[in-house]
A and B are shown apart, each in its own frame.
Chain A
Amino acid sequence: MFECILLDSILKLNGERTVYNIYHLLTAKKSTQTIQDSNLFGLTNYFGIYNSLTRQAFNQEIQRLEYHQLITVNPDQQTVHISERGKMYYKKLREEQADYFHLNGEKFHQKADRFSKNLLLFIQTLTHIHRKNPRFIPIIEDVESQQFVKKVWNKQHELGTATILKYLYQDLTMILENFPDDHAAAFVDSLTSLKKVGLSRYQIAKKYYITTHDVYLSFMNIIHAICKAIETEDNFRFLPQLYPVHQTNKLLSDSTNQTFYYLKQGLSIDEIANVRNLKENTIKDHIVEIAYIYQELNWPAYITEQDYRLIREILKKLESKKLKDIKSLLPDSISYFQIKLVIALEGRNNVEENQYV
């Protein structure tokens, strides 16, 4: 899966951004730029799906793709293009995986991470309580998850362990049946109960002859599928209990969120810059970031309708997404900020078409 995701990202970026933008995208380094790019290039599905990826491991994968001539590294050493061979290979992978590909980073990357921790810890806890063996070392060290699981148990224990186990079994079987057997098997192998400690990533990789990256991503893929099912369907007996409640799921960095707060108070760019002790350009970047998700943004405060239409026309005509190319075709009076703003406002409306699968 990792190969497929990398090739797809490289294909869509088309050498217009450096290869590290993909790394930032996968690990959800929430710089304004990353968020804008993921929208601009239709890569929001991959946002934050692989937080624990190290830069070194990422580099290795890119080198591997190059070694197998699936991509070519451009002379600048920063950007890459997919090769013809890579395109063919990507097409084949995509066809194979399309049926069960559920990753949706934009929507689920935070919730999926939380939910998977809750699920793993709850199964460990429940099976221990079921067998009256309440002393164990939690495999999830995260305090928030530990408290969450405790709360769920306190709320639900009246059902009895046997019933909850049955529900969990039914829920998981229902979802796992939609995946290839080795994906389902790897998922089950990573669960820890009193009976059996889950396998580590490298052990699963060895067992199923896949990379540790694919171990992680296929696990997360199933978790995203469960998240989607919880949010849209009503068939589960118990899994929704483990779903994190109220969490900001918007793709805004912390700093942008603060700017957003002042924006809603009606402050202007220079006023916010003043209050926050930041440069105006930084605030403008935040506003662009906000434009992607906030329909009610008062954009006429920043650009005239006429200029807006002008930029939109150019965007439609021009293949390239390089800001420099776009700006060169517009009057000098139009700023980069205004162009980015229009891209954001327009991009919001058509990202759906760009999405993977």
Chain B
Amino acid sequence: MSELQLEQNLQAHFGFSTFRTGQKEIIEAVLKKQNVFAVLPTGTGKSICYQLPAMMSSGIVIVASPLLSLMTDQVKQLKATGFKKVAALNSMLSYQERETLIQQIDSYQLLYLSPEMLQSKRILTRIKSLKISLFVIDEAHCISQWGHEFRPDYLRIKQAHQLLNKPPLLALTATATPDVQQDILEALQIPNVKKFIYPMDKPNISFVVEQVDQVKEKEEKIAKIIRNYRVPTLIYFSSREEAARVASILQGKEHDRNIAYYHGGLDNQDRLLIQQQFMNKQLDVICCTNAFGMGINKKDIQLVIHYHFPSQIESFIQEIGRAGRNGQEAVSVTLFHEYDHIIPQRLLDTELPDIGVVKQMLKLIYHNDVSLNDLKEEFMLNVNGMEPHWRFFRYQLEKLNILEHEQFNITALPFHNALMILQETIEKRYRYKYNKLNEMLQWLHTTGCRRNKLFSHFQDHIQKPTNMCCDYCDFRWENWHPAIEQSNSSTQDWQTNLKEILYQGD
């Protein structure tokens, strides 16, 4: 395939005339049937690396992805561009929808699957009969025990890949420190893998961190910023209530900007509408939780404000990566108060099951001869129905061979050893998470160049910023002059509105 042809295909399918950094090299390697491991920063079009090959080659491209909403969003977006041979097979489908999809499975060129679906013998057998041109593991950092979002289910992907006779593999991630990268490669054991590691830093984003003495100051500061800089803006919160509350305060202060909130508690319809209003420039500012942004492909966001900071640098980098996607000048502002760390701390403390519960459950296994189902029921009652806790526990039991083929085997390990190992695992994980939070806090308190400090965990060399660097180096608000967006708001009667909507009288 000549260079020209690749670009023609890109133009035909996506309407872009040139590739972004990394895309072309990765796609070429993929088309040559090489095994590829790629780290591409968020917002640079990771998914095109397998979407374009899916459109160009015969056979089917399988994508394992842990993020359900991202899958469905991508399917929707691809369909909207006219590519219909795409589907997502996950637990969000009804029984009927799933059956229909499985029956027509050979009519797709691109198929997204959740890790759970890849555990199903029936689905695997069905897929095995197809010509698989590429097997993609998206968000590959989920494989690493030391990745910030370890998913036990994800480890089994390797077996699925083997069962499918090892088609060419593409493992992709946006955020992985060098040791996580190493861990992923070891876990997957891909032979002759070609590595593409691209720098995480975004030269077009400037960094500002401001400490406040009173929490209320945050609202005033934000109001002032969005009054002066009329650009598409995201404001991140760690709680739904705060996102909604501050959105309403800001709207009250700034009447001529259109502000809304978005979080996982809204129903599907409302979420869809808010996203599309933002895309359509009916909204300028969105107060959101991290539920926002995954599937949205808005290129003109120029300001990302953190009202709350996340619990690790990886998430922070992902979130600021929603800005400046066309390479235009963008600013990241983080506001913090000295007690803000309490919020992520509280979230961290509930991430793993309590050791007391673990002990109690182990006792049930060792002394009471329970079935797996009964144990799960009992466990869920004890952890307030937190499914991830159960998945963690179950995975650990399997790892220790206490659980094999859905049966308990207490001869694998004496009770006390099992308990000790589990306790150590949990403590280790907590230490790891606390470490991550500390990195984030250290960054906020850093007294040097923010850009260098932020990306130093990921790479040795930092690119030269294309605009102002950070508030330590050279950033001054008065030197930022983004192009002004006109907010369109209408207050007219319904008759006029209806006429406009239905194109009457124009």
- Is A173 within 8 A of B500, CB to CB? no
- Is B498 within 8 A of A195, CB to CB? no
Q: Mark B273-293, 1 if CB is under 8 A from A, else 0.
A: 110110110100000000000
Q: Does A169 contact B (CB under 8 A)?
A: yes
Q: Does A301 contact B (CB under 8 A)?
A: no
How far, in whole Å, are A123 and B504 apart by their CA atoms in the complex? 13
How far, in whole Å, are A52 and B267 apart by their CA atoms in the complex? 9
- Is A168 within 8 A of B502, CB to CB? yes
Using A52-B267, A193-B501, A196-B501 as known contacts, say yes or no to A139 and B273 having CB atoms under 8 A apart. yes
- Is A195 within 8 A of B501, CB to CB? yes
Using A137-B76, A173-B498, A181-B494 as known contacts, say yes or no to A165 and B270 having CB atoms under 8 A apart. no
- Is B269 within 8 A of A185, CB to CB? no
Interface-centre pick from A137, A141, A165 (highest chain B CB count, 10 A) = A137
Q: Which of A197-205, A262-270, A277-285 contacts B (4 or more CB under 8 A)?
A: A197-205
Closest to B490 in A: A196
List of A residues within 8 angstroms of B82 by Cβ: 135
Cβ < 8 Å to A, chain B residues 450-506: 493-495, 497-504
- Is B282 within 8 A of A185, CB to CB? no
- Is B266 within 8 A of A202, CB to CB? yes
Which of B248, B273, B279 contacts A198 (CB under 8 A)? B273
Closest to A200 in B: B270
Using A127-B502, A166-B504, A197-B276 as known contacts, say yes or no to A188 and B497 having CB atoms under 8 A apart. yes
List of A residues within 8 angstroms of B276 by Cβ: 137, 139, 192, 197
- Is B499 within 8 A of A169, CB to CB? yes
A17 to chain B, nearest CB (A): 28
Using A127-B502, A136-B80 as known contacts, say yes or no to A200 and B497 having CB atoms under 8 A apart. no
Q: Which label, helix, strand, loop or mixed, suits the secondary structure of the A interface?
A: helix
List of A residues within 8 angstroms of B267 by Cβ: 52, 201
> Interface residues of A, CB < 8 Å — how many?
39
- Is B501 within 8 A of A203, CB to CB? no
Q: Does B125 contact A (CB under 8 A)?
A: no
How far, in whole Å, are A220 and B369 apart by their CA atoms in the complex? 54
Closest to A203 in B: B260
- Is A173 within 8 A of B495, CB to CB? yes
- Is B268 within 8 A of A141, CB to CB? yes
- Is A189 within 8 A of B497, CB to CB? yes
List of B residues within 8 angstroms of A65 by Cβ: none
Q: Does B81 contact A (CB under 8 A)?
A: yes
List of A residues within 8 angstroms of B501 by Cβ: 123, 127, 188, 191, 193, 195-196
Q: Mark B155-189, 1 if CB is under 8 A from A, else 0.
A: 00000000000000000000000000000000000
Q: Does A275 contact B (CB under 8 A)?
A: no
Q: Does A143 contact B (CB under 8 A)?
A: yes
List of A residues within 8 angstroms of B282 by Cβ: 196-197
Cβ < 8 Å to B, chain A residues 71-100: none
Given contacts A123-B501, A191-B501, 10 further A-B contacts (CB under 8 A): A135-B80, A165-B502, A169-B499, A172-B498, A181-B494, A184-B494, A185-B493, A196-B282, A199-B277, A201-B270
Closest 4 CB pairs of A and B: A200-B270, A185-B494, A193-B501, A197-B276
Can you list 14 pairs linking A and B with CB atoms under 8 Å apart? A139-B273, A139-B276, A143-B97, A165-B504, A169-B498, A185-B494, A188-B494, A191-B498, A191-B501, A193-B502, A195-B500, A198-B273, A201-B267, A203-B260
